[in-house]
Amino acid sequence: MFAFRSRLDKAHTALVYLLVVLAGSVRGGRQLGLALAGCAFLLFNWFFLPPYGTFTILNPLDWLVLVSFLIVSVVAAQMLHREQMGAEEARRRADEVDRLAALGAETLNIARPDEALDAVTAVIRDTLKVATCRIHMTPHPAGHATSLDPLVAWAASSGQTVLRHGDGTTGLIAAGATFESGLESATGARAVLIPLRVRDRTVGVLELADEEDIALDPDQRRFLAALAYYAALGVERARLSAEAGRAEVLREADRLKDALIASVSHDLRTPLTTIKALAHDLRTGGDDRAATIEEEADRLNRLVADLLDLSRLQAGGVPLHLELNAADDLVGALVQQVSGALDTRELKVILEDGGPLLVGRFDLAQSLRVLVNLVENAHKYAPAGTPIELRTSRDGAFVALAVSDRGPGVPPEEQERIFEPFYRAPGRTPDVGGAGLGLAIARRLAEAQSGTLRYEPRAGGGSVFTLRLPAADLAEADFL
């Protein structure tokens, strides 16, 4: 430029110097940019502003050019620097996210959930340089009460991060602080207990502990916040897998029980038939004790038949004949079957909706069996002399058959349990007969026909057991 000085305008000089400053800033950073701006300012003055070869200036307006040049080049160097720092920070963040994502995928991909948890704790221990990093699952997966450190238990139940300091005092991370910024106050603690949360539920506690005060820089805090979430997911996975394992064991036990019931009840039938036949012979021969043997054999036979039915029902092996039937036919068959057993007790039949015939699609024999069981139960449990009511009605898509008695009713905590196999009310003497299978079989029979069997307390005392069976439209049943 010096060679062409006579032909150069101030603007040309300023622009060329500006290019040099920018190029310097891009390659060498802010320091070089600013140094070049200073040099360019002096060189501009010395070589290109008259009088040449001095730092004095002839035309005061040239100061304007010079100072503007200096400001523009300093601001440009500064802005470039800021942009570069932003880009650098973004790159660092992206690297960190990549690293965390890879880590998360790696740790959570480990086949065994407890090994995945070990991997997460090992990564935290190594990255944060703390002596201990442990994950406490709450509640304990095996279900037994392990002696949890009270502080750990408190962190889990309150959902707040707890700090333990070197002097034995404890602190909390201020409520309302975001987890990451809250961890700032963890600096200086000897132990940090972080509740692990998944979907608003605390699943465990992450414990960091060291002999020295724990110091976490912003990067480490960010890292810990992310890994605490991985740890929470890992705990949840371990819990779900333990649950699935338990469910599988239960299913297996259930299958074994079904197989056992089926085979035992099957094997009992043949000897029972022989015993009964022999007792029958003895009775005709005049031995009175034979009658008792025969009665007891009958009772055992009924129990074995019930057991077989229950196991068949559970396996879906009871053949059902679902046909259009009138509720009247069912009620008629019931009255006929139970009248002998009820002695003097009255069975009141109430047919509601006196209108069109009630029709349903159900198995007549099996539904009759359910109702006989309900009426026999009512007869067994209700005081002598009180009537039993049978009410039939249309209830939405169902035909409802309700058997009501004035017996003791069923306490609320037992109202579902009485439908479980072998459940008998506590304190009830076994001589009332039955083994607690009647209602279990009845409910399964109802459900196998897409119906329901439910208990309700009766107003004024007693029980109402309602069998609901799918109703059918009369038009469908024209031929009945």
Binding site for ligand ADP (CB under 6 A): 377-378, 381, 405, 407-408, 410, 418, 423-425, 428, 434-440, 463
Which residue number, 25 or 463, has a Cβ lying nearer to ligand ADP? 463
Q: How far is the CB of 455 from ligand ADP (least distance, A)?
A: 8
Nearest-approach distance from CB 341 to ligand ADP, in angstroms: 14
Is the Cβ of residue 218 or residue 461 nearer to ligand ADP in the bound state?
461
- Work out how close the CB of 465 gets to ligand ADP at its nearest, in angstroms, rounded to a whole number: 7
Query: Measured from the CB atom, is 288 or 431 closer to ligand ADP?
Result: 431
| Residue from 472, 449, 466 nearest 357 by CA | 472
Query: What dihedral angle (degrees, nearest 10) is formed by the CA atoms of 107, 112, 115, 120?
Result: 30
Q: State the Cα–Cα distance between residues 327 and 364, nearest whole angstrom.
A: 9
Residue 294's φ and ψ, nearest 5 degrees, are -65, -45
Structure tokens at 154: 């408190």
| Three-class SS state of 308 | helix
Identify the CA nearest to 210 among candidates 186, 194, 190, 188: 190
Q: Which is nearer to ligand ADP, 313 or 358 (CB)?
A: 313
Contact 316, 449 (CB under 8 A): no
* Beta carbon nearer to ligand ADP, 167 or 431: 431
Q: Which residue is nearest to ligand ADP (CB)?
A: 434
CB of 364 to ligand ADP, least distance (A): 21
Can you spell out the DSSP letters for 163-179? EEETTS-EEEPPTTS-H
196, HSE (Cβ side, Cα atoms, 13 Å): 27
- Cβ distance to ligand ADP smaller for residue 179 or 423: 423
Q: Give least dist CB 453 to ligand ADP, A.
A: 11
User: 104 or 409, CB closer to ligand ADP?
Assistant: 409
224 versus 382: smaller Cβ distance to ligand ADP: 382
The least distance separating ligand ADP from the CB of residue 259, rounded to whole angstroms, comes to 23
The C-alpha angle with vertex 68 and arms to 62 and 73, in degrees rounded to 5, equals 130
Write down the least CB distance from residue 117 to ligand ADP, Å.
46
What is the identity of the amino acid at 276? K
Residues whose CB is less than 8 angstroms from the CB of residue 208 and which lie 6 or more positions away in sequence, other chains included: 124, 128, 130, 132, 133, 191, 192, 194, 214, 224
Q: Using an 8 Å Cβ cutoff, are 80 and 22 in contact?
A: yes
Question: From CA 309, how far away is CA 437, in angstroms rounded?
Answer: 10
Q: Please report how close the Cβ of residue 410 comes to ligand ADP at its closest, in angstroms.
A: 5
Place of tokens 């198995």: 363
DSSP lists the bridge partners of residue 402 as: 391, 466
